[in-house]
Amino acid sequence: MATAQLTASSISARNLPSFKGFTPSTARVLSVAPLRQGGLGLGPFRGLVVKASATIAPKYTTLKPLGDRVLVKINAAEEKTVGGILLPTSAQTKPQGGEVVAVGEGKTLGKNKVDISVKTGTQVVYSKYAGTEVEFNGSKHLILKEDDIVGILETDDVKDIKPLNDRVLIKVVEAETTTAGGLLLTESSKEKPSIGTVVAVGPGPLDGEGKRKPISITPGNTVMYSKYAGNDFKGADGSNYIALRVSDVMAVLS
């Protein structure tokens, strides 16, 4: 019985099949299980993971999202620090914002048609790991569901985010810098806070009939939220903010 073992390596685009409208680029095989001749089953293929970025072929000039999906042109990553130091690619922060360039027709909930709430030209912030990235017209874009958009940001400061749907923007309280005994804490040993002040709230989630359900907390409330929820942002003044779903807010403190 013959076996074949493929170790982690790069696969050239010419070895990958071409799909209509897409040009495969170099892919990285992360892990491959042994392959056997004469055997058929799912087992040998469970370890195969191939990651490849897709480029839309030049002959296609438009990309129309369907349903409740949105096409966002990704903002360029910061290549320099505030002090002007050039950052290597590995150290550049992955952008979480961009411009909406196309939207789908919306979705149907119950008997009601619900349109996409963001318009083309709007600058938005989205969840860090949302969507599918594509190269289109020489620029990087992201196709994602409207629900993965955190909010609208019309300025350069995250404190001005206007949350969408069931999202809430919270200003995080500063972490304790010293212990009860007065010892100075290092950055790595500071406990991540899970308390903050509500800055802005979205219009609320949609129910099964497409109607908005208002959010029960309001700006100014001090709240406790799930420790590892949401998306973290740094404000222009150095303050920490977090945008999360209202379901991740556990209590109102007073």
Residues 141 and 185 grouped into a single domain = no
Q: Looking at per-residue confidence, does 15 or 207 come out higher?
A: 207
Torsional class of 110: left (φ above 0), alpha (ψ -120 to 50), beta (otherwise): left
User: Is the same domain home to 192 and 143?
Assistant: no
In a shared domain, residues 187 and 131: no
Same-domain check for residues 148 and 226: no
Pairing status of strand 54-56 against strand 132-136: parallel
Within this chain, do residues 68 and 146 fall inside the same structural domain, yes or no?
yes
> Does a structural domain hold residue 177?
yes
Residue numbers of the domain that contains 219? 164-253
Please say which residue of 153, 180, 195 terminates a domain. Answer: 153
The CATH number of whichever domain residue 70 belongs to comes to 2.30.33.40
Give the N- to C-terminal CA distance of the chain in Å, as an integer: 71
User: CB neighbours of 80 closer than 8 A, spacing ≥ 6?
Assistant: 86, 87
Please tell me the pTM assigned to this model: 0.67
The predicted-structure confidence for 148-171, as pLDDT tens digits, reads as follows 999 999 998 889 999 999 999 999
Q: Is residue 23 part of a domain?
A: no
Q: Are residues 249 and 168 in the same domain?
A: yes
Give kind and range of the element (H or E) at residue 201: strand 195-201
Beta strands at 222-225 and 149-152: parallel, antiparallel or unpaired: unpaired
Given a cut of 60, whether residue 17 has pLDDT beyond it is no
Do 103 and 148 share a domain, yes or no? yes
Residues 168, 249, single domain; the answer is yes
d(CA 199, CA 230): 15
Tens of pLDDT along 61-113?
788 999 999 999 998 865 444 454 544 444 334 558 999 999 999 999 988 89
The structure tokens 């556990």 sit at: 250
Domain termination site, one of 133, 153, 173: 153
| Contact call for residues 184 and 215 (beta carbons, < 8 A) | no
* pLDDT digit string, tens, across residues 196-244: 999 999 999 999 888 899 999 999 999 999 988 899 998 888 899 999 9
Note whether residue 135 is domain-resident. Answer: yes
Q: Is residue 179 a part of any domain in this protein?
A: yes
Number of independent structural domains in the chain: 2
Q: Are 196 and 225 in contact (CB under 8 A)?
A: yes
- Strands of the sheet containing 50-51, edge to edge, are 9-11, 27-29, 50-51
Q: Rounded distance, CA 169 to CA 220, Å?
A: 11
Q: Which amino acid is at 205?
A: P
Distance CA(54)–CA(18), nearest Å, equals 10
CA 141 from chain centre, in angstroms, equals 13
Q: What is the pLDDT of residue 186?
A: 52
Q: Are residues 66 and 149 in the same domain?
A: yes
Give domain status of residue 205, yes or no.
yes
pLDDT at 47 over 60: no
33 in any annotated domain: no
107 belongs to a structural domain: yes
Q: Would 49 be classed as within a structural domain? A: no
